[in-house]
Structure 1
Amino acid sequence: MRIWDITPEKLCKNHLLGEHRELHAIWTVVTEHKKGYSMHPETIRWKGKLKALYFRHNALVAEMIHRGYLHHSPLDKRKATGLSVQDTFVDSLNKQIRILKQKKCHCKI
């Protein structure tokens, strides 16, 4: 599981859409108190920061729509509680860039 801290505009198709799917998984685990992946570092960093995760989702959706994708999976804004900014990282921004570069995908980094 991974929510990138890189602007969605720079993500390739696979990473943009993959992050969107994983964001929904994290949202469900946290908001519905599911056990699967609840102890994953990526999930843990979003606990208490659902407002920030909601904003990240909005940014991903805006980029998806810009690229011509349809979006039919909105998040419930009423559950977007907690902090509005993510300041905890599993990997630093520089390391995330290195990871994406090693994947040799079409991300614009």
Structure 2
Amino acid sequence: MRIWDLEPTILCRKHLLGEHRELHALWNILTQNKKGYRNHPETKRWEGRLKALYDRHEKIVTEMKKRGYNHRSELDETLATGASNQDRFIDSIEEQKQILKRKDCDCRPY
């Protein structure tokens, strides 16, 4: 599970759509107190930051629509509470760029 902290515009199709799918899973874990992946580091870093996660979703959706994808899975904005910025990182921004550079994909982390 990974939610990138990079601009969605640099993500390839695979990583953009994959992040969208994982973001929804993470949202459900946090808003519905689901147990799966509850102790995953990615889940823990978003605890208390649903507003930031909601905003990340909106950025992902904006990029998806720019690329011609349909979006029909809105998040409930009334649940978007807590901090509006994400300042907890598993990997730094620079490390995330390096991770993407090593992947065999069309991401552009320059």
TM surpasses 0.5: yes
Distance 1:26 1:75 in 2: 12
Matched, 1:48 2:54: no
Q: Could you tell me the percent identity over the aligned residues?
A: 60
Q: Return the letter of the residue paired with 1:37.
A: Y
TM-score (norm 1): 0.99
Aligned to 1:59: 59
Q: 1:64-79 counterparts in 2 under 5 A?
A: 64-79=64-79
Deviation per CA, 1:84-109: give whole Å up to 9, x if none.
00000011111111111110210011
Q: Does residue 5 in structure 1 map to residue 2 in structure 2?
A: no
**Secondary structure of 1:45's match?**
helix
Which consecutive unaligned segments of at least 5 residues does structure 2 have?
none
Q: Note the alpha carbon deviations across 1:6-55, whole angstroms, 9 max, x for none.
A: 10000000000000000000000000000000000001000100000000
TM alignment of 1:29-108, pairs within 5 A:
29-108=29-108
Q: Deviating runs (4+, > 6 A) in structure 1?
A: none
Runs of 5+ consecutive residues of structure 1 not aligned to the other structure:
none
Q: Report how many residues are paired.
A: 109
